Chains A and B, each alone.
Chain A
Amino acid sequence: MLEARKIVVGIGGKRLLDDITLCVKPGEVLAVVGPNGAGKSTLLKTMCGDLKPRHGFITMNGNELEDWPIAELARVRGVLPQNSTLSFPFTVLEVVAMGRCPHRRNGDAAHDDAIIRQAMALTDTERFVDRIYTTLSGGERQRVQLARVLTQIWEPVGDLPRYLLLDEPTSALDLAHQHSVLAIARRFADRFQAGVLAILHDLNLAALYADRIAVLHSGRLMAFDSPERVLDADLIMEIFGYPVTIAAHPKQTDRPLVIPHLLQHAE
Chain B
Amino acid sequence: MMKAALVMSGGTKRYAVLGGLTLLLFVTAIVSLGIGAYSISPGQVLAILSEILGLQLPWPFDDGHRAVLESIRGPRIALGILIGATLAVSGAAMQGLFRNPLADPALIGVSSGAALAAVAAIVLETSLLKNMSQLLGHYYLPAAAFSGGFAVTWLVYRFAGSGGRLDIASLLLAGIAVNALAGSLTGLLTSIADDQQLRTLTFWSMGSLGGANWSQVVAGLPFFLLNLLLLPYFSSALNALLLGEAEAGHLGFSVETVKTAVIVLVALGVGCCIAFGGIIGFIGLVVPHLLRLRLGPDHRIILPGSALLGASLLLASDGLARSLAVPAEIPIGIVTGVLGSPFFLWLLYRQRMLGG
Contact = CB atoms under 8 A, between A and B. Distances in A.
A101 interface: yes
Contact of B243 (A85, A110, A113, A117): A85
Given A85-B244, A110-B8, A120-B2, A94 B252 contact: no
Majority DSSP secondary structure for residues of A touching B = helix
Contact of A78 (B5, B250, B254, B298): B250
Contacts of A101: 236, 240, 251-253
B183 interface: no
Contact of A116 (B6, B253, B292): B6
Interface stretch (A3-11, A67-75, A173-181, A236-244): A67-75
A70 B254 CA distance: 7
A98 B243 contact: yes
Majority DSSP secondary structure for residues of B touching A = loop
B229 to A, nearest CB: 19
A90 interface: yes
A117 to B, nearest CB: 6
B20 interface: no
A112 to B, nearest CB: 5
A108 to B, nearest CB: 10
B249 interface: yes
A71 B292 CA distance: 29
Nearest to A72: B252
What band does the interface of chain A fall in when counting residues whose beta carbon is under 8 Å from B? 35 or more
Contacts of B222: none
Contacts, number: 94
Interface in A98-147: 98-102, 104, 109-110, 112-113, 116-117, 120, 126, 129
B2 A88 contact: no
A122 to B, nearest CB: 13
Interface in A26-46: 45
Contacts of B240: 98, 101
B297 interface: yes
Given A90-B297, A90-B298, A113-B8, A98 B251 contact: yes
Contact of B252 (A48, A50, A74, A112): A74
Contact of A113 (B7, B101, B253): B7
A171 interface: no
B252 A88 contact: no
A86 B253 contact: no
What band does the interface of chain B fall in when counting residues whose beta carbon is under 8 Å from A? 20 to 34
A85 B297 CA distance: 15
A253 interface: no
A70 to B, nearest CB: 6
Contact of A102 (B2, B101, B251): B251
A197 interface: no
A152 B251 contact: yes
Contacts of A113: 5-8
Contact of B253 (A70, A88, A100): A70
B51 interface: no
Interface string B6-18: 1110110000000
B100 to A, nearest CB: 8
Interface string B100-113: 01000000000000
Given A90-B297, A91-B296, A101-B252, A84 B247 contact: yes
A214 interface: no
B298 A81 contact: no
A109 B101 contact: no
A138 B240 CA distance: 20
Contacts of A45: 246
B236 A99 contact: no
Contact of B2 (A78, A84, A85, A129): A129
Contacts of A98: 239-240, 243, 251
Contact of B296 (A70, A90, A99, A100): A90
Interface of B: 1-3, 5-8, 10-11, 99, 101, 236, 239-240, 242-244, 246-247, 249-254, 292, 296-298
26 contacts: A73-B252, A74-B251, A75-B252, A78-B250, A79-B246, A79-B250, A81-B243, A84-B244, A85-B243, A86-B242, A86-B244, A87-B242, A88-B101, A88-B297, A90-B296, A90-B298, A91-B296, A94-B298, A99-B251, A101-B252, A109-B5, A110-B8, A113-B6, A116-B6, A117-B2, A126-B1
Given A109-B11, A120-B2, 15 more contacts: A50-B246, A70-B252, A70-B254, A74-B250, A85-B99, A89-B296, A89-B297, A98-B239, A101-B253, A102-B251, A109-B7, A116-B6, A117-B2, A129-B2, A129-B3
